[in-house]
Amino acid sequence: MPTSYPAETLLIEGPDATAFAHAQFSSNVNSLATGQWQFSAWLDPQGRVRALFHLIRLADDRYLVLLRGGSAMAMAEALRRFVFRSKLTLTALPPRALSTGPSMAPNMISDDTQILSLGCGTHSLQITASDIGDDAWRLPQLRAGWPWLPTQMLNELLPAALSLQRLQAVAIDKGCYPGQEIVARLHYRGGHKRHLHSVTLSQVANAGDMLRDSDREVGCVLDVVTTQDNIAALVVLTDDVVAQAHEGHLDPINDGLMIHIDTSWSA
Check whether residue 93 and residue 198 sit in a common domain: no
Domain that holds residue 55: 6-147
Count how many domains the chain has.
2
Check whether residue 76 and residue 202 sit in a common domain: no
Interval 81-110 mean pLDDT? 96
Residue 53 lies in a domain: yes
Closest CA to 46 of 161, 187, 157, 148: 157
C-beta separation of 21 from 12 below 8 A: yes
Check whether residue 16 and residue 135 sit in a common domain: yes
pLDDT digits (tens, 9 = 90+) for 29-85: 999 999 999 999 999 999 999 999 999 999 999 999 999 999 999 999 999 999 999
Closest CA to 62 of 42, 26, 32: 32
Residue 152: per-residue pLDDT: 95
Element containing residue 231 per DSSP (H, E):
strand 231-238
Last residue of a domain, one of 147, 172, 206: 147
C-beta separation of 118 from 102 below 8 A: no
Check whether residue 41 and residue 97 sit in a common domain: yes
pLDDT digits (tens, 9 = 90+) for 148-183: 999 999 999 999 999 999 999 999 988 899 999 998
Check whether residue 59 and residue 123 sit in a common domain: yes
pLDDT over threshold 80, residue 267: no
| Domain at 230, CATH number | 2.40.30.110
Phi, psi of 132 (to 5 degrees): -105, 120
| Domain at 65, CATH number | 3.30.70.1400
Residue 191: per-residue pLDDT: 76
Q: What's the rounded Cα separation, in Å, for the pair 108 and 23?
A: 23
Residue 156 lies in a domain: no
Check whether residue 21 and residue 131 sit in a common domain: yes
Categorize the per-residue pLDDT at 187 as very low, low, confident or very high, splitting at 50, 70 and 90: confident
Check whether residue 39 and residue 124 sit in a common domain: yes
Interval 199-223 mean pLDDT? 94
Residue 2: per-residue pLDDT: 45
> Which class for 156: exposed (0-12), middle (13-18), buried (19 or more C-beta within 10 A)?
middle
